[in-house]
Amino acid sequence: MTQQSLLRDVLARCRTAQFTGTLFVRSADGVGQVHVIAGVVDEAHLGSTTGDAAIAKMEGLAAAKIEVQQALPPPEKDSKLAHPFEGKLADRSPIDLFRYAEEFALTCTLELLAGGVRGEATYALGDLLRVSCGGDTADNAVTQMLKWADGTYAFHLPVVDVPEGVTFVEWKKGAGAPPDDAAAKKAADAAKKAADDAAAKKAADDAAARKAAADAERKKQQEEAEAAAKKAQEETEAAARRAAAEIAAKKAAADAAAKKAADDARRHAEEERKKADEARRHAEEERKKADEARRHAEEERKRADEARRQAEADAARRAAEDAAAVAKLEQEAAQRRLDEEAKAAAKKAADDAAAKKAADDAAAKKAADDAAAKKAADDAAARRAVTKAPPPELEKVEPPKSSPMPIVIGVVIVVAIIAAALLFMGKK
């Protein structure tokens, strides 16, 4: 299998397995890296060359060794530090880990451990397929795991069945972070520079050799032409014409062969260019699908956040309405109590005024009776003085009897006041 078909085969297997990691293509001419997320090429570089051009150059590396290594993408856009496979929930909360898997459209299984309870969330291209936690599933499991603040986490990525001759490095739980390839990259850059310098020198030498060969060929052709001309001069006119015709025929055949070879080369180059364009279009389609999946996941997350915010706002509005209703009921009850107290006070004042009026009426009547008795006595005394007669024996005048009505009215008023007071106290 050629280097080109081997690298394409490995990338196709990564796409089928929805693999996430890095492909290292190492050779004496340089070291290339292809970063893959869920089977889609996210970034590729070989020296200063990036993208599809870098992959094309990797396919041309002689005697290259391919290594496929599991690795998580960096959580920050401008960072080169990969996300750790495992760690503590105190450093990365469950919600941050869930969002990381969704944002990068990963295909993986996220394992969480806390207090002896084990939870798992399985993703496919960033979509949550299933979740479990201590026997609970779906929403209950997610709700339970989101509360965990003390525990550990671990990412488990898909593996790739690589072809013969390709090395696969799988991360194992407890093995720590994958090896850093910075030293290899530095050595690859140095080797690339040396290879580029050697290629430039070789190209210059080849150009000089081609120029020398062309000069020798032209000189040889010139000598042969001079010899043929001399021979033609010695031969008869007919022989000279036949020789010229033969030379022209050979030249035409050589030109036709050269033209055919050039046309074949152009057709081959055009076919290769079309294949490369088709591969680029396919890679771009895969990238667009991955971007669309990430956008879809982000939209779903935004809709969920909006629904949560709306629910919180509705709950706050209902609580405010309930509080206002309770306050209104309390205010109405207080107003009723005030109204009842005011009515009782007004009734008491009216009863007090009626009692006072009855007492005043009784006192006025008694005063009038006393005044009438005194006037009668004064009139009798005056008559005796006029007649100078001895005062007749006066009849014993009994004092006027007081009426019992004022006393009855007073008693009624007192009883009414006491009843009103008891009624008011009972209502309170």
Q: What is the pLDDT of residue 389?
A: 54
Q: How far is CA 297 from the centre of its chain?
A: 8
The pTM score is 0.43
Q: Label the pairing between strands 136-137 and 49-50.
A: unpaired
For residue 288, the model assigns a pLDDT of 92
pLDDT of residue 283: 79
Profile the chain (428 residues) by mean pLDDT over runs of 10 residues.
76 94 90 94 91 90 90 85 92 93 94 91 93 77 86 94 91 64 45 52 63 74 78 75 70 75 81 86 88 89 91 88 86 87 84 85 86 87 72 54 73 86 76
Supply the pLDDT for residue 191: 43
What's the angle, vertex CA 54, arms to CA 51 and CA 57, rounded to 5? 155
